């Protein structure tokens, strides 16, 4: 499975309307749809937070393709 890095706002915009739960791991958390167990995304850091390491967000490429187009017409 491929992931696409997104902003925090995009990440929570994509997973927000779904019934999703994180599974914390040492270095990242895996976010799965509760009913299907499909992996929607992942976040860093996991439960072993390292100082100075930025928070990062990814969604599966399937859901990244559904993101609304950025910028553009008014």
Q: Hey, which residues does 56 pair with through a beta bridge?
A: 44
Q: pTM (2 decimals)?
A: 0.78
Is residue 42 a contact partner of residue 63, using CB atoms and an 8 Å limit? Answer: no
Domain ranges of the chain: 3-64
pLDDT tens for 23-70 read 999 999 999 999 999 999 999 988 887 776 779 999 998 888 765 545
């Amino acid at each position: 499975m491929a992931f696409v890095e997104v902003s925090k706002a995009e990440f929570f915009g994509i997973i927000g309307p779904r019934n999703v739960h994180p599974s914390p791991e040492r270095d990242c958390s895996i976010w799965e749809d509760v009913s299907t167990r499909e992996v929607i995304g992942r976040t860093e850091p996991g439960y072993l937070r390292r100082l100075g390491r930025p928070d990062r967000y990814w969604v599966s490429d399937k859901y990244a393709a559904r993101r609304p187009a950025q910028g553009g017409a008014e």
